[in-house]
């Protein structure tokens, strides 16, 4: 199969001198637009499946969706990490849920017990002689997907021929130095946010708001004291307040100084990017004390979910963390197991948590976007202001362009893997 040339490759757009909004209002509110994104963007995108370190034993697996494609990642008995479509080859049932360890190295479909090895080979079919006398099991392995690793994180793509090296591009040379085997994870926290997923991304790459919306939490830097570097389709943020490129706003760095006992080995210098926005939907923030991985998923035109997990040195976590009790944290909705702004007992600007400030302003933006009177104004000039928004929007439009290559399911049946 042809990989999606020109889309999964590392080609991207530079920071424009005079940025302008590229997307119409419909891009943020229309269910049809969102459907196109699921098919043409997320169905052809590299999606983060978490740290490879969490899948270090044979049989360790996790599942993740790329648009309409349910995928799974499994460590084989040979130590190789593989990605497959999470579909049984009999009649298609989803095979694995969540993450964990597969028992006895056999992936068993719950519907009729077709059974696969960790390498995807079909091993057993119940009542084979009676029901499938002429079945050649070699023709029905799990459908492969593509897999790559960047900075210790696993990324998967529905198309087994997708070009990871091209997508990764030059960001590989500037990634965070943190190693997952030297850190421990906190609980994964999911926010359900009432905004289009792009509103959240655009807020994340907007360097103009840091000194204003977050004046009481991050407190800056000002737009002319930080910048976003372009690496292919990815964007990497730095503070330039000290005259050098560093990962933290100066105010935060100063208040964190002195807690050196809790610094992550190898990441002490802070001379790397502070935020990595990996196109389209993975955001990694890095600092000497922690690494956080945020995975964004569009749920509908006006709803997205952000799952955030933080890694620190083991000693930096409170003792009780083992219990993973996030349920008394403000904003938790026990019925759905996610955090929602509507459940916050206090005003978001009084939480002292910049995440809630962002969620609040994103939901406000979405309400404005719903208005037929909404007009796009101007974007602030500068690589530390709003020019990155144009870069992100142009990258998105490349995927949605009608000329883009057809993908599995559009050009015919999914091809059989070759052996």
> Where on the chain is the footprint of ligand FES (CB under 6 A)?
88, 90-91, 93, 109, 111-112, 114
Least Å distance between CB 257 and ligand FES? 56
**Contact stretch for Fe ion (CB under 5 A) within 146-154, 268-276, 327-335, 354-362:** 354-362
Q: Which is nearer to Fe ion, 5 or 216 (CB)?
A: 216
Residue (of 115, 98, 97) closest to 106 by Cα position: 115
Q: Which residues pair with 282 in a beta bridge?
A: 278, 295
State how far the Cα of 389 lies from the Cα of 7, in Å rounded to an integer. 18
Q: Which is nearer to Fe ion, 192 or 358 (CB)?
A: 358
Strand 81-85 and strand 99-101: pairing?
unpaired
Q: Residue 18: which residues within 8 A CB-CB, separation 6 or more?
A: 381
If the CB atoms of residues 127 and 261 are measured against ligand FES, the closer one turns out to be 127
What is the closest distance, in whole angstroms, from the C-beta atom of residue 172 to ligand FES in the complex?
Answer: 38
Are 67 and 45 in contact by the 8 Å Cβ rule? The answer is: yes
Q: Would you call 185 helix, strand, or coil by DSSP?
A: strand
Cα dihedral angle (96, 100, 106, 107), rounded to 10 degrees?
A: 0
With respect to ligand FES, which residue has the nearer C-beta, 114 or 228? 114
112 binds, among Fe ion, ligand FES, none (CB under 5 to 8 A by kind): ligand FES
Q: Shortest Cβ distance from residue 96 to ligand FES (Å)?
A: 12
Task: Give 96 or 247: the residue with its C-beta nearer to ligand FES.
Answer: 96
Q: Which of the choices ligand FES, Fe ion, none does residue 90 contact, using the CB cut-off of 5 to 8 A by kind?
A: ligand FES
Q: Name the nearest CA neighbour of 226 among 248, 241, 247, 204.
A: 241
Strand order in the sheet with 69-75: 47-51, 153-157, 144-150, 81-85, 69-75, 60-66, 99-101
- Give me the least distance between CB of 88 and ligand FES, in Å please: 3
Shortest Cβ distance from residue 358 to Fe ion (Å)?
4
- When asked if residue 37 is in the footprint of Fe ion (CB under 5 A), the reply is no
Among residues 203 and 309, whose Cβ is nearest to Fe ion?
A: 203
CA 161 to chain CA centroid, Å, is: 20
Alpha-carbon distance of 83 to 156, in angstroms, equals: 7
Q: Give the shortest CB-108-to-ligand FES separation in angstroms.
A: 9
Interface residue with Fe ion among 163, 241, 302, 358 (CB under 5 A) is 358
Picked from Fe ion, ligand FES, none, the partner binding residue 358 (CB below 5 to 8 A depending on kind) is: Fe ion
**Rule CB under 5 A: which residues touch Fe ion?**
358
């Amino acid at each position: 199969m042809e990989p999606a040339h020109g889309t999964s490759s590392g080609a991207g757009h530079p920071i424009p001198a005079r940025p302008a909004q590229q997307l119409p209002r419909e891009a943020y509110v229309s269910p049809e637009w969102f459907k196109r994104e699921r098919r043409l963007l997320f169905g052809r995108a590299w999606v983060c499946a978490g740290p490879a370190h969490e899948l270090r034993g044979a049989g360790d697996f996790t599942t993740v969706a790329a648009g309409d494609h349910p995928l799974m990642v499994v460590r084989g008995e040979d130590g190789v990490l593989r990605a497959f479509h999470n579909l049984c080859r009999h009649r298609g049932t989803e095979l694995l849920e969540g993450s964990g360890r597969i028992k006895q190295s056999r992936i068993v479909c719950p519907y009729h017990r077709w059974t696969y090895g960790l390498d995807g080979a079909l091993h057993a079919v119940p009542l084979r002689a009676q029901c499938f006398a002429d079945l050649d099991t070699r023709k029905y392995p799990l459908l492969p997907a593509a897999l790559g690793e960047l900075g210790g994180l696993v990324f998967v793509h529905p198309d087994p021929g997708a070009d990871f090296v091209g997508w990764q591009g030059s960001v590989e040379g500037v990634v965070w130095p943190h190693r997952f085997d030297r850190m421990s994870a906190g609980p994964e926290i999911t926010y359900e946010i009432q905004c289009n997923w792009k509103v959240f991304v655009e807020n994340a790459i907007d360097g103009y708001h840091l000194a204003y919306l977050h004046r009481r939490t991050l407190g800056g830097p000002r737009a002319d004291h930080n910048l976003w570097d372009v690496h292919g389709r990815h964007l990497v943020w730095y503070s330039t307040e000290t005259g050098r490129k560093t990962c933290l706003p100066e105010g935060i760095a100063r208040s964190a100084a002195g807690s050196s006992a809790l610094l992550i080995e190898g990441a002490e210098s802070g001379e790397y990017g502070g935020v990595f926005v990996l196109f389209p939907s993975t955001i990694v923030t890095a600092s000497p004390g922690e690494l956080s991985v945020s995975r964004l998923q569009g749920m509908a035109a006006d709803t997205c979910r952000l799952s955030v997990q933080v890694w620190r040195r083991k000693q930096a976590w409170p003792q009780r963390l083992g219990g993973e009790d996030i349920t008394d944290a403000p904003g938790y909705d026990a019925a759905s197991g996610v955090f929602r702004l509507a459940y916050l007992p206090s005003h978001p600007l009084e939480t002292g948590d910049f995440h809630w400030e962002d969620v609040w302003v994103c939901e406000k933006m979405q309400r404005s976007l719903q208005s037929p009177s909404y007009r796009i104004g101007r974007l602030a000039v500068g690589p530390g202001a709003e020019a990155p928004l144009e870069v992100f929007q142009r990258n998105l439009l490349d995927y949605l362009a009608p000329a883009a290559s057809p993908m599995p399911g559009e050009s015919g049946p999914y091809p059989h893997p070759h052996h």
